[in-house]
Structures are given as C-alpha cells and as structure tokens.
Amino acid sequence: MAAEAPTASEYIVHHLQHLQNVKQTSIIDFSVFNWDSIAIAAVLGVIGSFLLWSAARKATSGVPGRFQAAVELLVEMVDNQAKATIHNVQSRKFIAPLALSVFVWIFLMNAMDLLPVDLLPWLWALAHGAAGHDPAHAYLRVVPTADLSTTLGLSTAVLLLCLIYSIKIKGLGGWLHELVTAPFGTSKNPVFAVLLGVANLGMQLIEYVAKTVSHGMRLFGNMYAGELVFMLIALMGGAAAMSLSGVLLPIGHIIAGTIWAIFHILIITLQAFIFMMLTLIYLGQAHDKH
C-alpha cells in the first residue's frame, strides 16, 4: 500500500525541521547543532570566496568582462559605504573587505530560497533511504539565514568586533569610562556620579543587546517569512495533484511562484545590503568617542 500523502500542516512542519545532532527540547538549547545550516553556509562561504578570488585573479586593466565589471561595481559600492561610515583608514583596510564578504555570503545564503522547495530535501531523502534510513525522517532546511542560530551567530560576531574595535581605538580605560559616562554624562557629586554611572551602564548594555538581537532577528524574520510563502505556493501544486476540483491551482501555482520569486530577488538582495550596512554602522559607532 502506498504511503499516505502528508497534510498541509505535516508538510510544512517537516520542511521546517533541521538536520540536528540531537532533538531540540527547549527554545534555547546550546547543545543542539543544526548541521544543515552549518554545512550549507560553509559551502556557500567557500563559493563566495572563490568567486571573489577568481574575479581578482582575472582582473585586467583593459575593458572588463561582464563578471569583472559586476564585481568592480560591487566592490566600489561597498568601499564608498565603508568610507562614509569608517573614517579610520587603518580600520577600513580590514572592515571594507569584511563588509564585502558579509554581503556576498548573506546574498548567497538568501538566494538558496529561490531553489525549488522540495528539490534538495527530496535528493536528501533519496540518499537517506539509500543508506538504509527512513526517508520520512530525512530533514533538511536549505536556507541558512532562515535559521535564527545562523543570523544571531552573525550578529554576535559583529558585536564582538565592535567590542574589539572600541577597546582598540579608545583603549580599555577609555572604553570602560565611556560605559559609565555616556549617554547621560557624569557629575562631580559622588552620589549623583554613582547613580548616573549605573544608569549609563544599564543603557549601554541595553543598547548592545538590542542592536545585536535586532540585527539578527531582522534578517531571520524576512527570510523565514519568505521560506513559508514558498512552501504555501508549493502546496498549491500539491493540492492540484490530489484533487480534480483543483485543476486551476497549477496555473495559480506557476503565476504566484513566478511573481514571488521575482519579488524575492529584491528581498534577498536588500536584506544582504541592510545587514552589511548595519555592520558598517555599528563598527563605525565603535570608533566614535562620546
């Protein structure tokens, strides 16, 4: 007897399951590793690095080809944004290439959402079954940026860089002094100085946490929502295959999928650009003295 087709909710739940080392039992569980996000992000990082390296190696001073011209436009755009936010020339030598890498890497991870929803999970299920395992338990999510652990990991790395540059530019003493004197200032009165110091420290900690969480959540939220929309569009085709009454659904499936894919190209590019710009802005703020 053929296996029953999953319901719409079962289909979505299955596609939202990660390939993990252990089953997640709580919202925050640092013992869980989402191997699919780690592996795909690593592969895309290598591909992005290779593309940039290839463009640099083949660069000529003559008339550039289309690929070289596209990379040059991208490099110029990132460099201009870095100059506008990072005024320290020495810092910019590291931060500008970092921002370029961030943009390309996140763009490639976002672009995985443009692949057919079931393509890679289906191939993974075949491989899983060939290895003697149950294909029904072959979980794979292919968009690393639709995984909160990925986006918060990226934003936490930006936070660490901000702390490093704050200490490097201002000195450890200068940075610690800023923590207790900005944004409300201080007072010559010892009592008011302590009160203001506590308030300033609290505001600084809130700012660090809020920037880091919002930085990661913004990218995650947009990509997670886009992933769900593609799943819902895929379900239109599935419903058509299971019901004669849904003969018009394939047409809606194709039209909706095409329109959303075209619109999603803008979203994945914009979200990569926003994450890169916020990275530059936060690192620029780490250079500012209050």
Would you name the residues annotated as active-site residues? 214, 218, 222
Is 174:68 a contact under the CB 8 Å cutoff?
no
Is 177:120 a contact under the CB 8 Å cutoff?
no
Q: In whole angstroms, what is the distance from residue 5 CA to residue 25 CA?
A: 27
Would you give the end-to-end CA distance of the chain in angstroms? 72
Backbone angles phi, psi at 30, to 5 degrees: -75, -5
The verdict on whether omega for the bond into residue 183 sits within 30 degrees of 0, i.e. cis, is yes
Question: Cα–chain-centroid distance for residue 117?
Answer: 19
Kind plus residue range of the DSSP H or E element containing 206: helix 190-242
